[in-house]
Structure 1
């Protein structure tokens, strides 16, 4: 579903930003009008769109590099590819999150509560919980309970991530915040969202409630290694109520348009006409090898093919050229072949020619920037249920771990446009993918590897899963640097602006990228 008529409003009237790059950000806090007088309808539009923008912009690029969905060929992408991720995220912390999605969601809540419009307050609380979760997942301890108070507190305390997830004295847990938002959605409301201001669900509060319950699943799953009993309780509660996103059509995905200023940030970063560097990112050899080895039909949907064919040996594995960057798999019809060119993460080898680089395809970025950013999905819900049933012995909802696993892959593939029959045929031809086998650890590896493939385009979620489970197994980037070249970064470092501007409360010494966040026990 596309809403170009107000995406432009959200991205130019409320959110001031230029070309999408590391120096540009969503400056929602610079509205010349009094934000307290902005109607909640306008804030809903801007907060929803900026949430998707944040997930797909710099945060998405760095995390997609770290989980080896893509590789960095030049400039800042190449630096992040070898774990040099210190600095450069002030814009995301200060602009896209605290002065953007978080402040706007809180303002929407405040205005909605004063105008007896709990429908908007409920949506605001769900968006606030999601964006606080994103912030704490990436940085660890963050300003939370004392944040978003404007001039009343310019130096909020840093709350522990454990308290943000579980709650503590004076600290509302993220799950409690979501449940409060869900309760608001069920109340009579003087003002109601509609198709003119709600770019996600066109005012359908039942779908917003399913988004909220899927968010509960996501957060419970995230802390499941640290708090298995609590996580299992929440997961079973949501499954029993059958209240999460149950179909691909109801995915929480943020739409973008095809015009300059309205484009998907993944596309905008690689769009030469928008002043960017279109060749800084392309397909990681790690992902290419994983998908090509199983003839995964999503590969040409996720990434572009390249001009130079490499014919495979008859009956042999996919062909790889001597440099290890070009791979060919069977095409959609007999006798045809598709060639892809990837890049080893961190390599200093010469880059392939421009026309020989596989880059994000239209499903991820849009033919002209009009693809959505997929934030919370039915596929994700099914993978969470499969994993938690395997590890926590939670309810399968009447299915089985095997059934949930296959349903998750099917949901991912059909979302990408593969027919249901083609998925069935793929399972039959690839039992090593379709059937869970071996020990619990081996089956978990299968589940998480397929979930990792499904998350191409959303590196943040794949990064969470990798840190939490250690799957899929990722070799360190070649020529790695960063805080420790032997450790794939476990968190983002705090921006210099926060460390200097909130010196009273900011952690000192601030943790480096090798220090795991609270829920990461591996």
Structure 2
């Protein structure tokens, strides 16, 4: 994947103030006489792409990585999340500015501009990424504004919530279609001649539409696996269709990943939150994650996690004592942050795609070699982390039990998801999705667990601001708590 670094720096600074392109009200996106400015596609695309990456790796990632025993909370909000304490005070900025008022409204505007200016390449990318960003949103909160958000009648400001099942599968007629429709529409657009198309403004693939097609198909695989517990027949049909095409992300260079800049103000949020912000003291790597990789003799550990004292200095999840001094703490290493904060944020990867296919073969009986795909996922993740081929080969020789699928279907799926969990380091949302969907990896409860029933959250609580201003949101005792499963979570 080729990235034009100077453009990345400019774009990353721009995305930190998404409202320059997005609207102050995340639902009012229609043109008005008071807002006549038409923003060009070449500005909307990088801003929206960086916006999705920002939302994925910012506060929502801190939350999900902490409840998934990857990071541990030392103070502030993560210290509460570490004990499963959540509320409607969480994630207001993420909902209003990073998602609805940021990335998603910009994708919607980009689709409109692309249709006006004969640029189906732009609209194809926008539809794929809008589907990914909407999936991220509904997976966190469950039922969310969908059909009446962004494209509501005359800029509807109090949209109804679309049931998550309808967002995934459809039921209500709307111009977006369901998530699968939206991705397929994007892929269809990418097949068209496009006089107007992205180049350096595409901060993922540099205008390579073949890579975007592969990414779109990998997204279809991800979405289909997400519904496997509640809609197994439809899940299998979609997975089988895409796998048979053999046209999805097939190398680390084809990962759907967004780089940021390496200068203050343009760096990836995961760098800023752990190295250079008011919240840098809040988080460090969990003892449990380091122990997991240590027990597996996993060579990715030292590339994932820093050793500022020459040893791993971590904290157990939920620990109520004093955290280690900031300068001694193990934090995200350069695999996640880059050397100076450039990231990347990995949204969909070769390793992730390989593990999805391995699970599809075991779970649904789809034709294929689950063992080969499982090992491909491990190798892809290790290589992406910077482990040499020689070291990877030696690991496979020395650890045959770890790299071999054996046992019942459930035992094989557990191994696949556990390795997928490791490969998804720094993408806490996807780790959380898999755990809710499958129950794997098996995670011990955190110390001093509180929250609702002392159980690990299975959704985020609707933000108070939306409950108060929009009567279509659940009210009072009807607001689902953090222990109420979303639709696709049948585990």
Give the structure-1-normalised TM-score.
0.88
CA displacement at 1:507 relative to structure 2: 5.9
1:222-233 map, 5 Å: 222-233=226-237
Pairing partner for 1:502 from 444, 453, 470: 470
CA displacement at 1:4 relative to structure 2: 3.4
Pairing partner for 2:435 from 459, 463, 466: 466
Is structure 2 residue 217 aligned with structure 1 residue 241?
no
**Hey, what does 1:346 align to over in structure 2?**
318
Is structure 2 residue 188 aligned with structure 1 residue 188?
no
Tell me how far apart the structure 1 counterparts of residues 14 and 445 of structure 2 sit (CA, whole Å): 43
Contact (CA 8 Å) 2:379, 2:392: kept in 1 or not? yes
**Hey, what does 1:141 align to over in structure 2?**
143
Is structure 2 residue 390 aligned with structure 1 residue 421?
yes
Tell me how far apart the structure 2 counterparts of residues 349 and 343 of structure 1 sit (CA, whole Å): 10
Change (3 A) 1:490 1:35: farther
Contact (CA 8 Å) 1:141, 1:159: kept in 2 or not? yes
CA displacement at 1:355 relative to structure 2: 4.2
Is structure 2 residue 299 aligned with structure 1 residue 297?
yes
Contact (CA 8 Å) 1:255, 1:373: kept in 2 or not? yes
CA displacement at 1:15 relative to structure 2: 4.1
**Hey, what does 2:353 align to over in structure 1?**
381
Contact (CA 8 Å) 1:185, 1:209: kept in 2 or not? yes
Is structure 2 residue 342 aligned with structure 1 residue 370?
yes
CA displacement at 1:307 relative to structure 2: 1.7
Tell me how far apart the structure 2 counterparts of residues 371 and 177 of structure 1 sit (CA, whole Å): 28
**Hey, what does 1:204 align to over in structure 2?**
208
| CA displacement, residues 385-433 of structure 1 (integer Å, 9 cap, x when unaligned) | 111111111232xxx1111111100000001111222111101111221
Contact (CA 8 Å) 1:44, 1:124: kept in 2 or not? yes
Tell me how far apart the structure 2 counterparts of residues 83 and 124 of structure 1 sit (CA, whole Å): 35
Q: Which moved more, 1:77-86 or 1:512-521?
A: 77-86
Tell me how far apart the structure 2 counterparts of residues 51 and 14 of structure 1 sit (CA, whole Å): 10
Is structure 2 residue 66 aligned with structure 1 residue 62?
no
Contact (CA 8 Å) 1:126, 1:177: kept in 2 or not? yes
Is structure 2 residue 486 aligned with structure 1 residue 484?
no
Contact (CA 8 Å) 1:491, 1:513: kept in 2 or not? yes
Pairing partner for 2:162 from 150, 156, 159: 159
CA displacement at 1:436 relative to structure 2: 1.7
CA displacement at 1:5 relative to structure 2: 2.3
Contact (CA 8 Å) 2:21, 2:39: kept in 1 or not? no
> SS at the partner of 1:158?
coil
Pairing partner for 2:285 from 280, 283, 286: 283
Pairing partner for 1:176 from 178, 181, 187: 181
Tell me how far apart the structure 2 counterparts of residues 483 and 36 of structure 1 sit (CA, whole Å): 47
Pairing partner for 2:370 from 401, 406, 425: 401
Tell me how far apart the structure 2 counterparts of residues 377 and 469 of structure 1 sit (CA, whole Å): 20
> SS at the partner of 2:317?
coil
Tell me how far apart the structure 1 counterparts of residues 337 and 421 of structure 2 sit (CA, whole Å): 18
Contact (CA 8 Å) 1:6, 1:45: kept in 2 or not? no
CA displacement at 1:481 relative to structure 2: 1.5
Change (3 A) 1:89 1:354: closer
Is structure 2 residue 34 aligned with structure 1 residue 29?
no
> SS at the partner of 1:351?
coil
**Hey, what does 1:40 align to over in structure 2?**
41
Change (3 A) 1:136 1:35: farther
Gap regions ≥5 residues in structure 2? 26-33
> SS at the partner of 1:29?
coil
**Hey, what does 2:86 align to over in structure 1?**
85
> SS at the partner of 2:296?
coil
Contact (CA 8 Å) 1:306, 1:357: kept in 2 or not? yes
* Count of residues in correspondence between the two structures: 478
Is structure 2 residue 120 aligned with structure 1 residue 118?
yes
CA RMSD of aligned residues (A): 1.9
> SS at the partner of 1:407?
helix
> SS at the partner of 1:374?
strand
Pairing partner for 1:445 from 400, 414, 432: 414
Tell me how far apart the structure 2 counterparts of residues 449 and 185 of structure 1 sit (CA, whole Å): 35
Q: Which moved more, 1:357-366 or 1:175-184?
A: 357-366
Give the structure-2-normalised TM-score.
0.93
Tell me how far apart the structure 2 counterparts of residues 504 and 407 of structure 1 sit (CA, whole Å): 46
Contact (CA 8 Å) 1:26, 1:96: kept in 2 or not? no
Tell me how far apart the structure 2 counterparts of residues 298 and 103 of structure 1 sit (CA, whole Å): 37
CA displacement at 1:452 relative to structure 2: 0.6
Tell me how far apart the structure 1 counterparts of residues 333 and 188 of structure 2 sit (CA, whole Å): 40
Change (3 A) 1:35 1:78: farther
Contact (CA 8 Å) 2:83, 2:318: kept in 1 or not? yes
Change (3 A) 1:419 1:38: same
1:352-363 map, 5 Å: 352-363=324-335
Contact (CA 8 Å) 2:262, 2:341: kept in 1 or not? yes
Tell me how far apart the structure 1 counterparts of residues 466 and 412 of structure 2 sit (CA, whole Å): 42
Tell me how far apart the structure 2 counterparts of residues 89 and 282 of structure 1 sit (CA, whole Å): 20
Contact (CA 8 Å) 2:86, 2:451: kept in 1 or not? yes
Tell me how far apart the structure 1 counterparts of residues 340 and 416 of structure 2 sit (CA, whole Å): 33
Change (3 A) 1:14 1:289: closer
